């Protein structure tokens, strides 16, 4: 037991050191966003906090499920998307904290007004996160449930807010509506989460909508499985729930609650997930550095005409790309050969039957024909069986491998501009010719022809064919390499000549190139960040950032509620005043449109805007009104529209 604790402590110390090394680098580079994420991870590692996050398609019942698991009604429930912020719930010191984008965090001590906190949950414009620390022991120590905004294709801000918390998540529970399991929005997000090594669990909620007369529940579950298989998504678990009736058949709600609470108690930290979160932050920082150096370079080229500067940038970019073309194509080339050979079905059942007939004909006691014609007819039959097997095998090789690889190699030639007569001829003639000698080389003397022998024999031939293709592809790649090098040298010479003919000060180009070298040097240094020595002041710097993050001002709940009500009333008064004063006539609006379009008419870049304004003028003049119906898939939009039209 002591050894396990020591290993855990060592693992924690290693994480802390890695975070300090990256933090030190990010602080020096003034990358505030990435630095903030490292501070989040540092605080999480120190506290050994385990976070289970919930997200999902909007209105799938996510908040209701979280409330059920907690055993108290903390989050707002509504038929419209509600939780617009990241909301963290844990057992703690009995306070609710509201983190703002641009002002100090507000803290509400229990008994705080839960309805007021719910109002805050729906405000994403000024508030970035809510943290509810209830004094009730509803969750284990160091355990947190996180509610994130729903994944809605129509609201990128909600999605970005959800993704901004991914580095902190240990497990993700994705909530789907029973009717929208196959939603592309769901599947794309889940596939992205798997790519980021996030352990995902699926909750298919609102199964009270299920109609056994339409489809059995087992058949529905099988369809769900097929959907995930088709998208190549492998969730850790799938739960079927309904928050309306926990006694409903197939309702896993109680089991789900027990599973989540058990997971929070055990807290199996995933080191791979932690490492991947660090790698993602470093990748984001690499983009930050590239943007920073690009901005510096743009300033250097500020005195150069836009077209010339753009041409220089394009040429330099192409010169840089030339260096990686061979490696890039080699990866595609090898992958195509590997996948083609892997998927090639070289020995279908019909061909195995021909192989068996051929093998039988090679047995010592094989004979056909009568007493006087046996020898001649036997030799003819052996020859026929050999040719039939060999010819059919060659046809299979051509159809399953040769033609596919030739097509792909030709695509590579066009994609990378590698037109060369010798290379084109070699690609057109690329093949593997299987011979009689090859067939006989795998026969076993004296072996009895049976099912196992035929299977082993044909498998060995198939493996040998694939090996020959790998060998031929290596020969062909040598020619590809030669053509790439020749083409690159020619193109490099052309690009460098183009650079020298541009009317640009040589110092400007050299300075731009220097920035590129500095960037590459910076990225090389970043690659060794885990080898850097940590300054003794770094820990106190991080702790100070954490203190600033949690710097709060206590707020009286009643006064806050009065303030919210006052602001709401004020907003209503402003809307009323706007409605009273904002009176427009069609004639004045159309006249205004005419004035605007006449002023913009001289500039062709405004043609699109002018057309839009004229369309609106026509609609106003002709009193046209367009009503659009939006809604979820299978929500009944068409039926509703038909009902409205039938009552005209």
DSSP 279-311: HHHHHHHHHHHHHHHHHHHHHHGGGS-HHHHHH
pLDDT at position 77 is: 57
The β-bridge partners of 143 are 50
Per-residue pLDDT at 250 exceeds 70: yes
Task: Please provide the distance, in angstroms rounded to a whole number, between the alpha carbons at the two ends of the chain.
Answer: 78
Antiparallel, parallel or unpaired: β 105-109 and 95-100: antiparallel
pTM: 0.56
Distances (CA, A) of 283 to 277, 278, 549: 10, 9, 24
* SS3 category, 348: coil
Higher pLDDT pick, 76 / 264 = 264
Q: Rounded mean pLDDT of 379-393? A: 93
Per-residue pLDDT at 170 exceeds 80: yes
d(CA 21, CA 13): 12
In this structure, of 257-266, 385-394, 616-625, the range with the lowest mean pLDDT score is 616-625
Task: Show the 3-state SS of 223-247.
Answer: HHHHHHHHCCCCCCEEEECCCCCCC
d(CA 519, CA 373): 84
d(CA 64, CA 74): 9
pLDDT at position 216 is: 93
User: If you average pLDDT over every residue of the chain, what do you get?
Assistant: 81
337 and 469 in contact (C-beta within 8 Å)? yes
Query: Phi and psi for 381 in degrees, rounded to 5?
Result: -65, -40
d(CA 536, CA 20): 10
Tens of pLDDT, residues 568-577: 555 545 544 4
d(CA 394, CA 354): 13
Tens of pLDDT, residues 305-350: 556 666 777 777 777 777 788 888 889 999 999 999 999 999 999 9
Distances (CA, A) of 33 to 26, 193, 289: 9, 21, 13
d(CA 502, CA 504): 6
Burial of 404 (0-12, 13-18, 19+ CB in 10 A): middle
DSSP label of 131? E
34 and 26 in contact (C-beta within 8 Å)? yes
Structure token digits, residue 190: 């889940």
Sheet-wide strand order for 237-240: 237-240, 200-205, 171-177, 50-56, 143-147, 86-91, 127-134, 95-100, 105-109, 552-554
In this structure, of 75-89, 263-277, 417-431, the range with the lowest mean pLDDT score is 75-89
* SS3 category, 31: coil
Q: Rounded mean pLDDT of 1-22? A: 68
pLDDT at position 579 is: 44
Most confident of 159-163, 299-303, 395-399: 395-399
62, containing H or E segment: helix 62-70
pLDDT at position 51 is: 92
Within 10 angstroms of residue 114's Cβ, the number of other Cβ atoms is 19
Q: Rounded mean pLDDT of 374-394? A: 91
The β-bridge partners of 98 are 106, 130
pLDDT at position 235 is: 94
Query: Phi and psi for 168 in degrees, rounded to 5?
Result: -95, -10
H-state helical runs in 362-402: 374-397
Higher pLDDT pick, 229 / 615 = 229
Unique residue bearing structure tokens 């006691």: 365
């Amino acid at each position: 037991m002591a050894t396990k604790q020591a290993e855990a402590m060592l693992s924690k110390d290693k994480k802390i050191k890695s975070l300090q090394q990256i933090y030190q680098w990010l602080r020096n580079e003034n990358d505030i966003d990435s630095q903030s994420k490292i501070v989040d991870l540092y605080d999480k590692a120190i506290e050994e906090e385990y976070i289970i996050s919930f997200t999902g398609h909007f209105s799938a019942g996510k908040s209701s499920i979280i409330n059920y698991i907690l055993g108290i009604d903390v989050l707002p429930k509504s038929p419209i998307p509600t939780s617009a912020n990241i909301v963290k719930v844990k057992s703690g010191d009995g306070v609710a904290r509201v983190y703002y984008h641009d002002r100090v965090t507000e803290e509400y001590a229990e008994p705080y007004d839960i309805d007021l906190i719910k109002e805050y949950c729906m405000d994403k414009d000024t508030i970035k996160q809510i943290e509810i620390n209830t004094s009730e022991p509803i969750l284990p120590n160091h355990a947190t449930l996180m509610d994130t905004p729903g994944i809605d294709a129509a609201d990128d801000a909600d999605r970005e807010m959800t993704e901004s918390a991914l580095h902190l998540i240990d497990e993700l529970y994705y909530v789907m509506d029973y009717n929208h399991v196959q939603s592309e929005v769901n599947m794309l997000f889940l596939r992205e989460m798997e790519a980021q090594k996030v352990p995902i669990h699926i909750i298919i909620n609102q199964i009270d909508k299920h109609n056994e007369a339409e489809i059995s529940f087992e058949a529905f579950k099988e369809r769900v499985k097929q959907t995930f298989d088709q998208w190549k998504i492998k969730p850790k678990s799938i739960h079927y729930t309904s928050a309306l009736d926990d006694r409903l058949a197939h309702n896993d709600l109680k089991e789900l609650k027990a599973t989540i609470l058990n997971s929070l108690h055990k807290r199996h930290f995933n080191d791979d997930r932690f490492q991947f979160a660090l790698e993602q932050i470093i990748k984001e920082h690499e983009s930050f550095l590239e943007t920073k150096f690009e901005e510096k370079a743009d300033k250097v080229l500020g005195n150069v005409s836009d077209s010339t500067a753009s041409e220089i940038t394009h040429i330099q970019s192409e010169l840089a790309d030339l260096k990686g073309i061979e490696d890039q194509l080699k990866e595609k080339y090898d992958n195509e050969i590997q996948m083609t050979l892997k998927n090639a079905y070289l020995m279908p059942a019909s061909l195995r039957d021909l192989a068996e007939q051929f093998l039988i004909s090679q047995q010592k006691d094989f004979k056909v024909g009568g007493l006087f014609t046996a020898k001649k007819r036997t030799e003819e039959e052996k020859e026929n069986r050999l040719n039939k097997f060999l010819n059919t095998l060659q046809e299979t090789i051509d159809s399953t491998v040769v033609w596919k690889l030739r097509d792909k190699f030709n695509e590579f030639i066009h994609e990378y501009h590698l037109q060369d007569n010798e290379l084109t001829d070699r690609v057109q003639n690329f093949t593997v010719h299987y011979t009689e000698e090859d067939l006989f080389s795998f026969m076993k003397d004296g072996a009895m022809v049976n099912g196992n022998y035929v299977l082993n024999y044909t498998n060995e031939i198939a493996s040998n064919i694939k090996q020959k293709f790998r060998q031929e592809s290596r020969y062909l790649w040598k020619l590809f390499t030669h053509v790439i090098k020749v083409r690159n040298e020619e193109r490099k010479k052309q690009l460098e000549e183009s650079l020298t003919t541009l009317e640009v000060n040589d110092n400007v180009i050299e300075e731009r190139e220097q920035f590129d070298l500095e960037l590459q040097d910076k990225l090389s240094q970043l690659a060794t960040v885990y080898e850097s020595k940590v300054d003794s002041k770094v820990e106190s710097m991080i702790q100070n950032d954490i203190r600033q993050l949690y710097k709060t001002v206590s707020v009286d709940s009643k006064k806050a509620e009065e303030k919210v009500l006052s602001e709401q009333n004020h907003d209503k008064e402003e809307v009323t005043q706007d409605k009273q004063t904002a009176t427009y006539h069609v004639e004045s609006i159309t006249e205004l449109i005419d004035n605007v379009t006449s002023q913009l008419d001289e500039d062709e870049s405004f043609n699109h805007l002018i057309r839009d304004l004229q369309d609106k003028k026509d609609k106003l003049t002709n009193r046209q009104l367009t009503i659009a119906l939006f809604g979820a898939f299978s929500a009944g939009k068409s039926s509703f529209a038909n009902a409205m039209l039938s009552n005209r």
